[in-house]
Amino acid sequence: MVQLSSVRESNVSLASTTSGQIALFVGATSGIAYHTLTEFARNSNQPKVYVVGRGEAKLSKVIGELEGINPQGSYTSINSEISLLKNVDTACEELKRKEKGLDLLVMCPGYLKLSRVGMYFPGNSIAPTKPGKVKDWKDLTPNPADNADGLEDTISLRYYVRMRFIQNLLPLLTSRPSSRIVSIHGAGREGRLNENDLELKYTYSFLNASMYTCTMNTLALAELASSHPSISCIHVFPGVIITPSFDKFAEDWYFPLRFLFMQLVLPFAKLFTVSLPECGQRQLFYATSAKYPPAGVRDPPGGGVALPKGVEVAKGADSKEGSGCYLLNWDGETIGDENLLEEYRKKEMGKKIWEHTQEVFDRVVGKS
Ligand SMILES: NC(=O)c1ccc[n+]([C@@H]2O[C@H](COP(=O)([O-])OP(=O)(O)OC[C@H]3O[C@@H](n4cnc5c(N)ncnc54)[C@H](OP(=O)(O)O)[C@@H]3O)[C@@H](O)[C@H]2O)c1
């Protein structure tokens, strides 16, 4: 476990290690990414920060807070409803008009939803009788529970949206001698994928949606890091963190159940979970420390803030030290089923996942 004291020691050294870093935060108007963002602003020297969110009021509030935390920084909001891929493109275009490089991309958009209503809804004459049997997407009657992209919303926010940001911003990330991508989701929660139903059109469940998006984040980031040695790609499981996402989760519940959840379960759970401020400090450490360097750049400043005493360079997803893609548990240590990841490496699943992702992008937003 990386001690919180080491995390804090590293974070306060950020301002003397780098200056004028350009960072983009997605899904940072509340919760985990918001606390990571405020820690980034607090500890950076003249940062240039872009925050993507939906709604001017919410964004103005966040920008005002950042200006209060570090008046030497520059903060810009990008107002976009990024659950649709074309809006991700618009947001990225806005950034590209202003910047030629990007040092850090932090992403944590998403929300919790128990069921995908209407999966086998009446009237979908071609709803598969055998889950997992894939039909051509063009033959499908759109599922009313899917968003306008034809994707399940929570899956898209946890995976496709994030990969679209990465793909669009790759030229900016690679224009730097070193850069970093942090996707805060569910490292270590990987499992076996049905290659015929990666979008979970037929085999959706709450648990599958979580496991698939965790596995696909890991595989896509590992593939990306192996082909871009100047980028450190980090997938984090932040722990169970009590954020506004739980309030929204229980919003539609039957009142007594909601009351029990909000008044008893959550306060009790809070006793055993990492607090949001600590979580934000830890995410900043993952986003900046030399413990998680890109494969091709080891030393500070490109490799990150110098290691505090007693902290070592982490093993990557391929079990090799400092290899550029890191799967992190809430405490900053590496996590993951080495056998499964090795099996997937042999099968070149990372490439397959990127190919599938590109196919979805081509289908939804057209070939670019
Ligand atoms: N909390 C946990 O225990 C936990 C554990 C593991 C992983 N995670 C990851 O964290 C994500 C949730 O973050 P959080 O726990 O910090 O919750 P949160 O406080 O609700 O923050 C979620 C962020 O995502 C944005 N977002 C939600 N739905 C959106 C949509 N349809 N379109 C655009 N943006 C949207 C929110 O924007 P608005 O403010 O506009 O709603 C907010 O900025 C999950 O999806 C998962 O990937 C959380």
Atom 11, ligand 1: residue with shortest CA distance: 110
pTM for the structure as a whole: 0.93
Query: What distance in angstroms lies between residue 242's CA and the mean position of ligand 1's atoms?
Result: 11
**Three-state helix/strand/coil letters over the chain:** CCCHHHHHHHHHCHHHHCCCCEEEEECCCCHHHHHHHHHHHHHCCCCEEEEEECCHHHHHHHHHHHHHHCCCCEEEEEECCCCCHHHHHHHHHHHHHHCCCCCEEEECCCCCCCCCCCCCCCCCCCCCCCCCCCCCHHHCCCCCCCCCCCCCHHHHHHHHHHHHHHHHHHHHHHCCCCEEEEEECCCCCCCCCCHHHCCCCCCCCHHHHHHHHHHHHHHHHHHHHHHCCCEEEEEECCCCCCCHHHHHHHCCCCHHHHHHHHHHHHHHHHCCCCCHHHHHHHHHHHHHECCCCCCCCCCCCCCCECCCCCCCCCECCCCCECCCEEEECCCCCECCCHHHHHHHHHCCHHHHHHHHHHHHHHHHHCCC
pLDDT tens-digit profile, the chain (368 residues): 999 999 999 999 999 999 999 999 999 999 999 999 999 999 999 999 999 999 999 999 999 999 999 999 999 999 999 999 999 999 999 999 999 999 999 999 999 887 654 443 333 333 444 444 445 544 555 555 688 898 999 999 999 999 999 999 999 999 999 999 999 999 999 999 999 889 988 777 888 999 999 999 999 999 999 999 999 999 999 999 999 998 888 887 788 888 899 999 999 988 889 999 999 999 999 999 999 999 999 888 889 999 999 999 999 999 999 999 999 999 999 999 999 999 999 999 999 999 999 999 999 998 66
Q: Which atom of ligand 1 is nearest to the CA of 109?
A: 24
Query: What distance in angstroms lies between residue 168's CA and the mean position of ligand 1's atoms?
Result: 21
What pLDDT was estimated at residue 357? 98
Correct CATH for 4-112+151-239+279-365 of 3.40.50.720, 2.60.40.1120, 3.40.30.10, 3.40.50.2300:
3.40.50.720
Tell the residue number behind the tokens 């937003």, with chain if given: 365
What pLDDT was estimated at residue 124? 38
Q: Does residue 336 come out as left (phi exceeding 0), alpha (psi in the -120 to 50 range) or beta?
A: left
Q: Which residues line ligand 1 (CB under 6 A)?
A: 27-33, 53-54, 58, 81-83, 108-111, 157-158, 184-186, 237-238, 240-241, 243-245
Q: For residues 234 and 105, is the Cβ–Cβ distance under 8 A?
A: no
**CA dihedral of 69, 2, 315, 155, whole degrees rounded to 10:** -60
Q: What are the boundaries of each domain within the chain?
A: 4-112+151-239+279-365, 246-273
What pLDDT was estimated at residue 250? 83
Q: Which atom of ligand 1 is nearest to the CA of 273?
A: 3
What pLDDT was estimated at residue 65? 98
